[in-house]
């Protein structure tokens, strides 16, 4: 979830917990505390650090009480008449809402860092959701304008957010079942349905069969169309209008199969690297491509197929002027003797 949406939602939720008319402290502290966890990007210096530690310390339930106390102590300098436990509660609601609303996306959140670096994700809501943001914004504006009824409005807004998230959860269950029926992955395969941009009905199905990963984009909504030959947009103005062409009904889903490379000495040498291991612990559906180079060396590039949608952003223009995305890729180059020449996260898309 984007940082601004976190702030809006945290402010609404914190206000709904206060019975004081026009509780400015609840609105302000909820807003600031809910955005606070994303400040971890300030100390993550490299792209690999971002993949390894984003949604770690600042997104941990174990660290939440301490961070909430720090926010409450700072807020006490402004809201001098408020009790410290009350300020702590508002901060805890804001930070806790951030953690939970990141949980419903697909990136993965480390609830119990540093004890555990396991990432939890429900795959219910896309990381940028205008409906969720709109509900939070309308609720906050209403609470600010109608101060005598601000708690009631905030409570209603909080309920609306909860209902929308529950609706997305139901759609996720439908999408996952539809994908399983369409792809028929073998028993033991790792399967997921990931939410897509601008609609709770559009999904990306993924099945890791071990030797290959199946991928398909589809729409479970009543107005699904899709196109037999969709074309990527050539200009930014075409992005939104073109989305409907890439998501057919599940009955017409086009399943792509991305094979994994066979075992090799070069692949084993690359996987033994600590930075590669860190990347693969982040990537839920990694696919490797191995290429032999003219000097006898080897290039290995991993891509996390969770981010396969070409429209997922951020955007860049290639040499032909066509819009391209910059997904999370990791590349290792080895010389003929298996020594590492280059290793790290890159921005180029696999051909």
In tens digits, what is the pLDDT along the chain, a chain of 351 residues? 899 999 999 999 999 988 765 478 999 999 999 999 999 988 888 888 999 999 999 999 999 999 999 999 999 999 988 899 999 999 999 999 999 999 999 999 999 999 999 999 999 999 999 999 999 999 999 999 998 889 999 999 999 999 999 999 999 999 999 999 999 999 999 999 999 988 999 999 999 999 999 999 999 999 888 888 777 777 777 777 778 888 999 999 999 999 999 999 999 999 999 999 999 999 999 999 999 998 889 999 999 999 886 544 444 555 565 555 556 789 999 999 889 999 998 864 444
What pLDDT was estimated at residue 311?
47
What pLDDT was estimated at residue 314?
41
What pLDDT was estimated at residue 238?
75
Cα(261)–Cα(211) distance, rounded to whole angstroms? 8
Cα(288)–Cα(310) distance, rounded to whole angstroms? 18
What pLDDT was estimated at residue 318?
58
CA dihedral 58, 64, 124, 242 (to 10 degrees): -40
CA distances from 141 to 136, 150, 278 (A): 9, 9, 42
What pLDDT was estimated at residue 351?
42
User: H helices of the chain, where?
Assistant: 3-16, 24-35, 47-53, 64-76, 84-103, 130-145, 150-183, 239-242, 265-271, 274-282
Count of residues in the chain: 351
Give residue limits of the domains in the chain. 3-168, 184-258, 261-346
What pLDDT was estimated at residue 347?
61
3-class SS of residue 250: helix
What pLDDT was estimated at residue 248?
92
pTM here?
0.89
CB 119 within 8 A of CB 53: no
- Is residue 314 reached through a cis peptide bond, with omega within 30 degrees of 0 on the bond before it? yes
Phi, psi of 101 (to 5 degrees): -75, -20
Cα(80)–Cα(25) distance, rounded to whole angstroms? 10
What pLDDT was estimated at residue 230?
76
Give the residue from 94, 76, 84 showing the smallest Cα distance to 38.
94
DSSP codes joined into one string, 26-63: HHHHHHHHHHGGGGGGGS--SHHHHHHHTTSGGG-TTT
What pLDDT was estimated at residue 147?
85
Give the pair of three-digit tokens for residue 64.
């939440």
């Amino acid at each position: 979830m984007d940082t601004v949406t976190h702030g809006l939602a945290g402010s609404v939720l914190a206000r709904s917990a206060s019975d004081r008319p026009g509780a400015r402290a609840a609105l302000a502290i909820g807003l600031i505390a809910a955005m606070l966890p994303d400040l971890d990007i300030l100390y993550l210096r490299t792209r690999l650090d971002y993949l390894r530690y984003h949604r770690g310390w600042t997104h941990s339930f174990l660290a939440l009480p301490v961070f909430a106390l720090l926010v409450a102590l700072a807020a006490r300098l402004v809201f001098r008449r408020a009790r410290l436990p009350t300020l702590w509660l508002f901060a805890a609601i804001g930070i806790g809402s951030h953690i939970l609303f990141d949980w419903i996306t697909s990136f993965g959140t480390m609830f119990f860092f540093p004890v555990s670096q396991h990432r939890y994700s429900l795959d219910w809501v896309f990381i940028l959701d205008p409906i969720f943001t709109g509900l939070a914004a309308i609720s906050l504006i209403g609470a600010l304008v109608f101060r005598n009824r601000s708690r009631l409005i905030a409570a209603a807004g909080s309920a609306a957010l909860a209902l929308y998230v529950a609706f997305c959860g139901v759609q996720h269950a439908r999408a996952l079942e539809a994908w399983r029926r369409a792809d028929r992955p073998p028993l033991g395969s790792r399967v997921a349905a990931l939410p897509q941009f601008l609609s709770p009905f559009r999904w990306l199905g993924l099945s890791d069969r071990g030797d290959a990963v199946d991928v398909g984009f589809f729409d479970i909504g009543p107005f699904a169309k899709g196109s037999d030959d969709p074309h990527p947009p050539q200009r930014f103005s075409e992005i939104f209008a073109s989305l409907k062409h890439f998501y057919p009904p599940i009955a017409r889903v086009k399943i792509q199969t991305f094979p994994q490379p066979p075992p090799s000495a070069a692949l084993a040498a690359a996987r033994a690297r600590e930075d590669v291991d860190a990347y693969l612990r982040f990537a839920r559906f990694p696919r490797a491509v191995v290429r032999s180079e003219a000097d006898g060396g080897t290039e290995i590039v991993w891509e996390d197929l969770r981010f396969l949608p070409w429209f997922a952003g951020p955007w860049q223009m290639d040499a032909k002027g066509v819009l391209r995305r910059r997904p999370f890729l990791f590349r290792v180059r080895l010389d003929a003797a298996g020594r590492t020449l280059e290793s790290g996260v890159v921005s180029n898309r696999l051909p």
